Structure 1
Amino acid sequence: MSAGCEGAHSLPTNDSRRCSSGSSDHYNESVETIKTEYNIDEPVQSDLTVAVPVKEQDLPFVKGSIIWLTVENMEVLKRLPQNPHFRPLYDCKEDFREGFAIGKLVNFANLVERISKACFYSPKSLLARYLEYLAVFEEFGFDVEPIREKLNTMISIKVKFERAQYTCRDIESQIMERNLEKSTINEELEEADKKIWELLFERKKKEAEIISLQTHIGAIKHILEATQKEFEKVANLIF
């Protein structure tokens, strides 16, 4: 079985083995589950053949399952009407094509729901993965461009945020570095201030010693002058 068939039934992350195990009966049994999950009221129909927006001859299968009305009334598909061609299903066994197509619609609706619930802190890698999924749906004729546009915008915003966040962290790192340098300078200033006070104290001490010595030398000079005068006085008495 070809790769186109394997991707027809499930999201790109699902096990490809589901392609060979699905059937229309399986999807018929899932009607109530889908209706309950998506709160869908099933329209009244006159027979099992469903009127659809896609021309029957354009599809690789005949729409005959009652599930079509239920699936096509999902709220997501009402907001984003789709008209897929399902051409890759030509590579699948004919009996399985309709079931795979229904599964593809449900998976598309699930993907759109996930994207709509993405929050600001959703990983950028997750949004990029959603873009890859959209490419797969596009191969089946889904109109994914509006969603892709929004996803690209979301990713662009995330990139802008990450750049700003990186710049912010870089600046915070620089601020921390400057604060450490400032702390080192403050410590050096404290040491310098301490040294200055020590030097000022030593200067005052030396000034006091100088004053004391100057006083002492003044007294000595006075004695010198007095002794000189006394000597001259005694010498003059001889005559």
Structure 2
Amino acid sequence: MRRLSVLKRSDKSRNQTNVVTTDSDYQQDWPFIKLCPIWTTIESLVLHPTPPQKPHFSPLKKTNELCREGLAIAHMVTYWNLVQRLSDLKPNDPIDIINNGLEVAVDLETHGFDVEAIRGRLNELLYSKSKAGQRKDTIKELEKRNYEKLVIEKEMDRLKVEMQKLQEKRKAKEEEIMRLQSNSHIVSTEIND
């Protein structure tokens, strides 16, 4: 069960309120004070999907204190955007989109987000894209081989026609030779007579 508790922290000049969300097994220890009123909305979108997200934002300790909350909100929104886009990604989408998603997942992971499912889906898309690329290469190679076969068949058909013409010429020459031999025989007989 979830409960909200409001902690007051005094500053030199004013009071600040820090809203801390607690689950039975989770206590936020973020390196900033939540002042922005949109946290309830963001947390409802990001912290309780499957798997539940428990970011720690510890890398933000290295940034300017005034920027930490805004950067944390940006990471929460980035996580939500990545999850939303993931459902729309398809293997025919450009590989840059998938690679960008993997880079964002690494950044989110350093802030404590559980991105294993996201990484798995993106890697699955990369694998599908790779297989599709191999399939396209195979299809291109098959098309190339079919074209080469067609060229050879056309050449064979041309050579068959040429061969038939040559056979007809040969037959005509053989008939001419037979006629000349026959005439030669007659001429030889006439000469001998």
TM-score (norm 1): 0.63
- The residue number in structure 2 matching 1:68 is 39
Q: How many Å apart are 1:208 and its aligned residue?
A: 4.5
Q: Deviations over 1:54-89 (max 9, x none)?
A: 513x21123343211111222895344311000011
Aligned: 1:111 with 2:110 = no
State the alpha-carbon separation in 2 of the partners of residues 210 and 88 from structure 1: 107
Match of 1:106, as an amino acid? V
Aligned: 1:90 with 2:61 = yes
State the alpha-carbon separation in 2 of the partners of residues 76 and 55 from structure 1: 12
Aligned: 1:51 with 2:21 = yes
Q: 1:9-24 counterparts in 2 under 5 A?
A: none
SS of corresponding position for 1:51: strand
- The residue number in structure 1 matching 2:9 is none
Match of 1:143, as an amino acid? D
Query: Which shifted more, 64-73 or 154-163?
Result: 64-73
Whichever of the two has the greater Rg, that structure is 1
Q: How many Å apart are 1:211 and its aligned residue?
A: 5.2
Query: Structure 2: which 5+ residue stretches go unaligned?
Result: 7-16
State the alpha-carbon separation in 1 of the partners of residues 131 and 114 from structure 2: 28
Match of 1:196, as an amino acid? Q
Query: Which shifted more, 134-143 or 162-171?
Result: 162-171
Aligned: 1:199 with 2:167 = no
- The residue number in structure 2 matching 1:126 is 97
State the alpha-carbon separation in 2 of the partners of residues 77 and 110 from structure 1: 15
State the alpha-carbon separation in 2 of the partners of residues 51 and 107 from structure 1: 20
State the alpha-carbon separation in 1 of the partners of residues 59 and 80 from structure 2: 19
TM-score (norm 2): 0.76
Match of 2:27, as an amino acid? K
2:57–2:111 CA contact under 8 A, matched in 1:
yes
2:54–2:113 CA contact under 8 A, matched in 1:
yes
1:76–1:113 CA contact under 8 A, matched in 2:
no
State the alpha-carbon separation in 1 of the partners of residues 32 and 20 from structure 2: 13
2:91–2:126 CA contact under 8 A, matched in 1:
no
Q: How many Å apart are 1:98 and its aligned residue?
A: 1.9
Alpha carbons of structure 1 residues 75 and 138: separation in structure 2 relative to 1, 3 Å? closer
- The residue number in structure 2 matching 1:233 is none
- The residue number in structure 2 matching 1:11 is none
Which structure features the higher share of helix residues? Answer: 1
Q: How many Å apart are 1:153 and its aligned residue?
A: 1.5
Which structure features the higher share of strand residues? Answer: 2
Q: Deviations over 1:126-180 (max 9, x none)?
A: 2122111110111101101111111111111211221222122123212222322
Alpha carbons of structure 1 residues 98 and 75: separation in structure 2 relative to 1, 3 Å? closer
Q: Percent identity?
A: 28
Match of 1:162, as an amino acid? G
SS of corresponding position for 2:85: helix
Q: Over the residues paired in the alignment, what is the CA RMSD in angstroms?
A: 3.1
- The residue number in structure 2 matching 1:81 is 52
State the alpha-carbon separation in 2 of the partners of residues 169 and 76 from structure 1: 47
Q: Which runs of 4+ in 1 moved over 6 A?
A: 45-48
Q: Matched residue pairs, number?
A: 177
State the alpha-carbon separation in 2 of the partners of residues 83 and 75 from structure 1: 9
- The residue number in structure 2 matching 1:147 is 118
Higher relative contact order (CA closer than 8 Å, sequence separation 6+): 1
